[in-house]
Structures are given as structure tokens and as C-alpha cells.
Amino acid sequence: MKYLITRLTLTAALSTVAMFGSDDHFSRIADAAQKTQAEARDLSAALKPKNADMKAIHGRMDTLQNHALELTQMVEAAQSSAASLTGPKKAEFERLATAAKIVSIFVENKKNMLGRDDAARNRSIIRANADGIAQRAAMVQKSALKLKS
């Protein structure tokens, strides 16, 4: 059993290295950022009405959190291959990584805000936070597309 787990881990690591060694990796980061941005915009729109369905919003928040986690994991996995980047591409990757970290922080803050009892009253603040997530995700997407080319 231990051998099987070790073998699976090694296979996953090798496939990750192969996947992240190409421009396809940055395409995947851009796609994950686009999903995060779209979900954040949808969440912002759902928070606009005064009688927003908070149960549906909590469900959307879970989806947003999953997209943001996927994005963060992809960027973290790219850290090792980014060490070979030089000059402007390295600076662009640093911007991408910073924006991705900010997205994850914003998502965590938003989740905490939605968990409070006064979440329905603070819709506008939570909505502004969702807009901030969408903007940062757009920055990640833009940087990933620059790195791809």
C-alpha cells in the first residue's frame, strides 16, 4: 500500500512538472482566474437586490471559494518553474502571484463577512468585496496571458 501511494505521488509530481513546463500552464491559470472573476461578478450581482437570497449567496460563495482555491494551487505549483523566468517575465509572474494571494485573502474575508449575523445588512460592503475579487482575478488572468505569449 505504501509503495502504491509513493508511486502515485511520484507520478502526480512528474505529470505536474510536465504540465507546468509549457505555456499550457499559464492558459490553465488564466482559465481558473476567469472562472473566479465570473463567479465573483455573479455573486456581486446576486447581492444587489435588497431582498437578496442569502442561502443562494452562501452557495455561490462556496463555488467562489473553490475557484479561488484552484487558482491559488495552480500558482503555488508554478512557483518552482517560475524560478527559471528572467527579467520582465519574472516580474510579471510576481505580479500574478501577488494578485492571486490577494484574491485568496479577499475570498477568506468575504466568507467571514457572510458568516456574521449582520451579513444581510452589510450587502453593499460584501458586494464591494466581490467586485474587488473580480478585479484581482482579472489582473491574474491578464498576467497569465502575458506569460503565455
For the segment 3-17, what is each residue's pLDDT rounded down to a tens digit?
A: 444 444 434 443 444
Q: Which amino acid is at 5?
A: I
Give domain status of residue 33, yes or no.
yes
* CATH code: domain of residue 38: 1.20.120
Give domain status of residue 61, yes or no.
yes
Residue 62, CA distances (Å) to 66, 110, 114 in order: 6, 11, 11
Give domain status of residue 55, yes or no.
yes
Distance CA(119)–CA(126), nearest Å, equals 8
Q: pTM for the complete prediction?
A: 0.79
Domain count within the chain? 1
pLDDT of residue 19: 42
8-12, 23-27, 74-78: least confidently modelled range: 8-12
